[in-house]
Amino acid sequence: MSNDTLTVEIWRGQEEGRFDTFQVPRMASQTVLDIVTYVQRNLDPGLSYRFACRVGVCGSCAMTVNGKPRWTCRTHVDKVADEGVLRIQPLKNLPVIRDLAVDMTDFFEKWTKAKAHFVPTETRHDEFAQVSPDDAKRKEASAGIECINCGVCYSACDTVAWLGDYLGPAALNRSWTLVNDARDGGQTERLKAVAGVGGCQSCHSHQSCFELCPKHLNPTASIAGLKRATVKAALKGDI
Amino acid sequence: MKTHRNHANYWAFVLHRLSGVALLLFLPAHFYVLGLAVERSADMDAFLSWTEAPVVKLLETGLVILLAAHMTGGLRILAIEFLAWRDWQKSVVAVTGGLSVAAGLLFLLNAG
Amino acid sequence: MTPQRAETLEWLVQRASAAVLAICVIVHLAVIVLAVQGGVTAKEIAGRVGGSIPWLMFYSVFIIAVALHAPAGLRNILREYTPLGRRATHWVMAAVCALILVMGFRAVIGLYGLGA
C-alpha cells in the first residue's frame, strides 16, 4: 500500500444532500463494501446502505463508485481509487431512499410491464417439454438468464435517464430470454409489451449496459433481437 | 473522465447524433443554393466562387466528414440491429472513424 | 393504429430509409469528390442534372429517403431532451418532412428543367 488511509466521499441524504468525507485505513484486498462497512461500524452508524451475500452472487450492494455503477463487494479499492480518493454514491436513475440505498420499485415494475415472466402452456399432468441445449433459440435464452437484477445496467443506461418510460436493459433482456423460450405461451402479448412507448426501439446501442454488467450479459444484443422480433410481428399483423 | 459513459460506443453515439443535427440544419441552406441555379445562376456562381476560399473548403471538409461519419455510424447500428452480434464492437467504431476521415481527406485534397 | 404498431413501423421506416440513404450517400460523396475537382459552377451542375432522367430519379429517391429519415431522428432528440409528447413530436416530424420534400424537389426539378 502506498498510503495508510483512503479519503472517501460518501453521499448523504436523498436527491438533495451532501458528500461527507471520511478517512478509512487501507487494508490488503480491501473492497469498496469493506470501506462502507468500516465507515458505518466505526465512524458513522447513521450511514444507510444495502448488502447481503458479500461475495458477488446477490446483486444487493450495487452503488456508483467514482462515477460507475458497480458491485461494491467485488470492486477492489486498488482498482478504482485513483490518487487515494474514492467517491461513493447511490445508483443513478432510481429514487434515493437514504444515503446509498435506492428504491428499486420502478426497476421491478418495468420487469412486469415488459411481460418478462413465463407464461405456462402445460400442466403437471403433461410430459416434460423437450428442449435441446443445442437449439439456437435455447442458446439465445441461456445467454441472458443469469441476470440477478442488481440494477447496474439500469443505472448506467442514458436512455433510462432521458426517457422516463423506457423499460431498460434488464427488463428487456429478461423479455428476450422468454421470447426464445419454446415452452412459453405469451409471445404476442410480450412483443406488444416491448414495442411502443418505452420499448426496445428506444435503445440507441450505447452499450454501457454491456460494458458494465458484472455477469457479462449483453442487453444490447438482446434488445436488438427484440427489435427484429417486433418488426417481424408488426409486418405479420400480430402487433 | 469519471462517468460510466467514457467508452467508444458512447462517443460514437454522440458523434452520430450531433452529425445528424448538423446535417439537418445544413439541408435547407443546401437546397436553397441549388435552387438558385434556375433563375439566379449568376448569384449561384458568385456564391460558389466564394466557397473556393480555403477556410470555406475546410468547413466543407468538416461537412463531408460529418456526412460520412453519420453514414458509417448508421451502418454500424444497422449491423448491430440486423446481423448476428460481433464482439469486436470497438474495432467497428475505429473503422467507421477511419472511413469518415478518409472521405474528408479525399474531398479536401481533390478540392485543392 | 396502436402506439405499439405505430412506433414499431416508424422504427422500421427509419432503418429502411437509412439503408437506402447509405447507397445514396456513397454515390453523393463520389459525385462531390469528382465534381469539386476544378471547381463547381452552376453550369456544371445544370449540365449533369439538366434533362437527365437517371439523375432526376436518383435525387428524387434521395430526397424522399431523407424526408422520412431525418424527422425520425429529430423526434428521438425531442422526446429525450424536451417535454414534448407523442402528438407534438408527430406534428414537428410532419413539418420537417414537408419542408425537406418541398425544398428538395423545388431544387431538383428546377435543375432538371434547365436541360430540357
Q: What is the pLDDT of residue A2?
A: 52
Q: Is the separation of the CB atoms in B80 and A220 below 8 Å?
A: yes
* pLDDT number for residue A32: 97
**Chain C within 8 Å of A192 (Cβ-Cβ)?**
yes
Burial class (CB in 10 A: 0-12, 13-18, 19+), B25: exposed
CA distances from B62 to A173, B34, B69, B76 (A): 39, 20, 10, 21
Q: In a 3-state reduction of DSSP, which class is residue C8? A: helix
CB distance A175 to A116 below 8 Å: yes
Residue C74 with chain B: CB contacts under 8 Å: 20-21, 24
Of A67, A61, A3, give the one whose Cα is nearest residue A36.
A61
**pLDDT at residue A88 greater than cutoff 80:** yes
The verdict on a CB contact (< 8 Å) between B64 and C32 is yes
Other Cβ atoms less than 10 A from the Cβ of A69: the count is: 26
**Can you give the pLDDT at residue A1?**
47
Q: Which residues of A touch B85 (CB under 8 A)?
A: 218, 221, 224
Q: What are phi and psi of B82, to 5 degrees?
A: -115, -20
Least CB–CB distance from C18: residue in B23, B49, B78? B78
Q: Which range (A99-108, B6-15, C5-14, C36-45) has the least confidence?
A: C36-45
pTM of the model: 0.94
Report the mean per-residue pLDDT for chain A. Answer: 95
Please give the average per-residue pLDDT across A65-76, as a whole number.
96
Interface test with A, best of C2, C4, C86 (most A CBs within 10 A): C4
B4·A156 Cβ contact <8 A: yes
Give me the residue from B1, B7, B80 closest to A211, CB to CB. Answer: B7
CA C77/CA B22 separation, integer angstroms = 13
Query: Model ipTM?
Result: 0.92
**Element (DSSP H or E) covering residue A68:** strand A68-71
DSSP A31: B
* Chain A residue with Cα closest to B16: A204
Report chain A residues whose CB lies below 8 A from the CB of C73: none
Question: pLDDT by residue for chain B (112 residues), tens digit each?
Answer: 568 888 999 999 999 999 999 999 999 999 999 998 888 888 999 998 898 899 999 999 999 999 999 999 999 999 999 999 999 999 999 999 999 999 999 999 998 7
Helix, strand, coil shares of chain A as percentages rounded to 5? 40, 15, 45
Q: What is the mean pLDDT of residues C57-64?
A: 97
- Weakest-pLDDT range from A72-76, A93-97, B45-49: B45-49
Asked if the C-beta of A208 comes within 8 angstroms of chain B's C-beta atoms, the answer is yes
Cα–Cα distance for residue pair A79/A73, rounded to 1 Å: 13
Measured CA distances, A131 to A104, A204, A226, B91 (Å) = 34, 33, 21, 36
Q: How many CA atoms lie within 13 A of B75 on its CB side?
A: 18
Tell me the angle at which helices A105-113 and A169-179 cross, rounded to the nearest 10 degrees: 30
Q: Chain B contacts of A211, Cβ < 8 Å?
A: 4, 7, 9
Of residues A2 and A7, the one with the higher pLDDT is A7
Task: Using CB atoms, list chains with 3+ pairs below 8 Å to chain A.
Answer: B, C
Cα A108 from Cα B10, distance rounded (Å): 26
Q: How many Å lie between the alpha carbon of B1 and the closest alpha carbon of chain C?
A: 23
The H or E element spanning position B61 is helix B54-82
Tell me if B89 and A207 make a contact (CB, 8 A cut-off).
Answer: yes
Contacts with A218 from chain B: Cβ below 8 Å: 85
- C57 and A CB contact within 8 Å: no
pLDDT tens string A23-35: 999 999 999 999 9
CA distance C72 to C90: 9
pLDDT interval class at A3 (50, 70, 90): low
Residue C38 vs residue B94, higher pLDDT: B94
Q: What is the mean pLDDT of residues A143-164?
A: 97
State whether residue A22 is helix, strand or coil.
strand
Report how many Cβ contacts below 8 Å link chain A to chain C: 45
Q: Confidence band (pLDDT; 50, 70, 90) for C55? A: very high
Interface membership of B86 toward A (CB under 8 Å): no
How wide is the angle at C-alpha B86 spanned by C-alphas B84 and B88, nearest 5°?
A: 165
Cβ atoms of residues A151 and A87 within 8 Å: no
The pLDDT score that the predictor gives to residue B104 is 94
How many angstroms separate the CA of residue B24 from the nearest CA in chain C? 7
Helical (H) or strand (E) element with B45: helix B41-50
Facing residue for C5 by CB, picked from A159, A202, A234 = A234
User: Which residues of chain C are within 8 Å of residue B81 when distances are taken between CB atoms?
Assistant: 15
CB contacts < 8 A, B to C, total 95
Give kind and range of the element (H or E) at residue A102.
strand A101-102
Mean pLDDT over A39-48 rounds to 97
Interface residue C114 vs chain B (CB under 8 A): yes
Residue C77 contacts A, CB cutoff 8 Å: no
Nearest C-alpha of chain C: how many angstroms from B26?
A: 11
C79 contacts A163? CB cut-off 8 A: yes
The predicted model gives C75-91 an average pLDDT of 94
Is the CB of residue A205 less than 8 Å away from at least one CB of chain B? Answer: yes
CB A208 within 8 A of CB A158: yes
Specify the pLDDT at position A144.
96
| Grid-cell match 421506416, residue found | C13
- Distance CA(A141)–CA(B71), nearest Å, equals 32
What is the pLDDT at residue C116? 63
Q: What is the mean pLDDT of residues A88-98?
A: 97
Interchain pair B38, C26: CB under 8 A: no
Give A195-229 pLDDT, tens digit per residue.
988 999 999 999 999 999 999 999 999 999 999 99
* Residue among A202, A204, A239 whose CB faces C5 most closely: A239
